[in-house]
Amino acid sequence: MAGAPSSEKLWGGRFTGGQDPLMTAYNESIYYDRAFYSQDIRGSIAWARANKNKGILNDQEFAEIERGLKEVEEEWRSGKFSIKPGVDEDIHTANERRLGEIIGKNIAGKLHTGRSRNEQVAVDMRMWLREQLENIESFLIDLLKVTANRAEQEIEHVMPGYTHLQRAQPIRWSHWMLSYGLAFANDLERLREVKQRVNRSPLGCGALAGNPFGIDRDAMAKELGFDTLIYNSMAGVADRDFVVETMQWGSMLMLHLSRWAEDLILYSSAEFNFVRLADAYSTGSSLMPQKKNPDSLELIRGKSGRAYGQMAGLMMTIKGIPSTYNKDLQESVEPMLDHVKTVGDSIQIATGVLSTLNIQPKNMLASLSPDMLATDLADYLVRKGVPFRETHHISGRVVALAEEKSTPMDKLSYEELKGVDSRFEQDILEVFDYQKSVEMRSASGGTSKSSVLEQIKVIKQTIEKK
């Protein structure tokens, strides 16, 4: 079966034979890069204006091209645009083909003067990604606001803190939230840096060697909202670092979200019962009526692997290709589209989960045990001038005594404690107070109220920075 005639393609002049239909489909990107239809049209209008300013187009020709492109854009927006399989290889080809049908091929054929699809796709991707990262930034700010607000409102509640998934020391529930909140705040700072490197214009780089008509690249960049130019034409068409870096950023964020989700999955289990997820972010079992599954959190945890895979896959695709544009770079589009959606959706789900879950402060408190204050016991003697290595040993002997007597540490008598070490005084029993324990951790970064409020302030300041 013969493929589409090469004469119908933008590059068809060199070829006389038809193309294998499978190769045609294999080569096409229109069914996913059509996501860039608006960016492609805006870039084409800026390009036509720059060509008009250089005398390549006259005023009437530019006006017709602008009118026609806006009509094409409206067809995409309204869902009326009809893709021609085998002809519309990509969004650039499709838009130019339709423009010719609307305003005539003679004028439409002048649009591409001095321009290559190599630079065109890079412009489209950068503009699209820039806009998506703006949305993702707003989603992340929403998550940080919910985290800070809940931390402030629920600052009184104390729960176990864990190392090695073993109960370690008492902490504030707010302190746990902010441990991830500050990671997300770092992600926000990194995102703002990534956005700056995304927002550089390759338009005017040509296929690889630059533009021969003295086109004003700065004017086009300004019209399209770019901060600056990519100053080497070869780099401009070949660079996909902006996609890789976005995926690296997204993978880091998903790493944090995955760990956050894992904690909440544990905390929502019957064995912990510290939190209960809203029905809106849970599912049931088809077999067991009593089940309430944290699928929202499990999906966040699962989709983190998807995000990492997209990043690593694209890096492996790019690492071995030679300089300037190669068709391998087409493989940067689909993973970018999916990665951005996965990350954006995950942040919004996380915000929904955190803003609607109910905490169970009584269960948090009931999970605390006096042995978690063993370090406080050691610190008591440190304040009396005893070296910590000695107090650590003494506190361990108290833990062992409590286990031997099957008695909680706070129920040991003063005489029993005095029998372990004579330097214990009557006020030793005051150590066994969870609120006092968390308040003692008042140095910056600790779990006292003052430290927690300081962390909230840091997050709020990060949100306000630009």
- Summarised one tens digit per residue, pLDDT across range 82-92 is 999 989 999 99
In a domain, 219, yes or no: yes
Mean pLDDT of 296-317: 97
448 is catalytic: no
What pLDDT shows up at residue 291? 67
In a domain, 457, yes or no: no
**Claim to verify: residue 284 and residue 423 sit in the same structural domain:** no
Domain with 35 in it: what CATH number?
A: 1.10.275.10
**Claim to verify: residue 252 and residue 317 sit in the same structural domain:** yes
**Claim to verify: residue 171 and residue 247 sit in the same structural domain:** yes
SS3 6: helix
Hey, what are 414's tokens?
A: 């003063």
- pLDDT over 90 percentage in the chain: 81
CA distances from 100 to 15, 64, 67, 72, 93 (A): 22, 11, 12, 10, 11
**Claim to verify: residue 254 and residue 353 sit in the same structural domain:** yes
Residue 59 to residue 64: CA distance in whole angstroms: 9
In the predicted structure, residue 179 carries a pLDDT above the cut 60: yes
In a domain, 94, yes or no: yes
Domain with 211 in it: what CATH number?
A: 1.20.200.10
Residue at a domain's end among 70, 88, 108: 108
Pairing of strands 200-201, 228-229: parallel
**Claim to verify: residue 162 and residue 291 sit in the same structural domain:** yes
* Largest Cα–Cα separation, the chain: 102
164 is catalytic: yes
Mean pLDDT of 150-154: 98
The chain-wide mean pLDDT, for the chain, equals 93
In the predicted structure, residue 218 carries a pLDDT above the cut 70: yes
Query: Into how many domains does the chain fold?
Result: 3
Residue 431 to residue 428: CA distance in whole angstroms: 6
Which range in 320-324, 383-387, 410-414 is most confidently predicted, on average pLDDT?
320-324
DSSP annotation of 293 reads B
In a domain, 1, yes or no: no
Using an 8 Å Cβ cutoff, are 459 and 453 in contact?
no
**Claim to verify: residue 293 and residue 190 sit in the same structural domain:** yes
Mean pLDDT of 105-122: 97
What pLDDT shows up at residue 103? 98
Which H or E run includes 342?
helix 333-356
In the predicted structure, residue 2 carries a pLDDT above the cut 50: no
Beta strands in 300-424, from DSSP E residues, in sequence order: 358-359
Assign 466 a pLDDT band (cuts: 50, 70, 90).
confident
In the predicted structure, residue 262 carries a pLDDT above the cut 80: yes
CA 427 from centroid of its chain's CA atoms: 50
Burial of residue 439, with CB atoms counted within 10 A of its CB: 0-12 exposed, 13-18 middle, 19 or more buried? middle
**Claim to verify: residue 200 and residue 328 sit in the same structural domain:** yes
**Claim to verify: residue 99 and residue 187 sit in the same structural domain:** no
In a domain, 437, yes or no: yes
Residue at a domain's end among 81, 108, 135: 108
Q: Which of 78, 164, 406, 422 is catalytic?
A: 164
What pLDDT shows up at residue 1? 38
Assign 409 a pLDDT band (cuts: 50, 70, 90).
confident
In a domain, 458, yes or no: no
Give the residue among 320, 295, 158, 128 at the shortest CA–CA distance from 225. 128
What pLDDT shows up at residue 7? 52
Query: Pick the residue with more confidence: 404 or 290?
Result: 404
**Claim to verify: residue 255 and residue 375 sit in the same structural domain:** no
CA distances from 101 to 53, 69, 96, 98 (A): 25, 11, 9, 5
In a domain, 460, yes or no: no
7-11, 25-29, 171-175, 358-362: which range is least confident on average?
7-11
Domain with 404 in it: what CATH number?
A: 1.10.40.30
Pairing of strands 158-163, 200-201: unpaired
What pLDDT shows up at residue 156? 97
**Claim to verify: residue 78 and residue 159 sit in the same structural domain:** no
Residue 66 to residue 45: CA distance in whole angstroms: 6
Q: Domain range spanning residue 289? A: 117-366
Residue at a domain's end among 351, 366, 381: 366
Q: Which of 7, 138, 269, 285 is catalytic?
A: 285
In a domain, 100, yes or no: yes
**Claim to verify: residue 100 and residue 48 sit in the same structural domain:** yes
What pLDDT shows up at residue 8? 59
In the predicted structure, residue 245 carries a pLDDT above the cut 60: yes
Residue 280 to residue 344: CA distance in whole angstroms: 18
Residue 296 to residue 65: CA distance in whole angstroms: 47
**Claim to verify: residue 75 and residue 28 sit in the same structural domain:** yes
Give the residue among 143, 151, 228, 260 at the shortest CA–CA distance from 191. 143
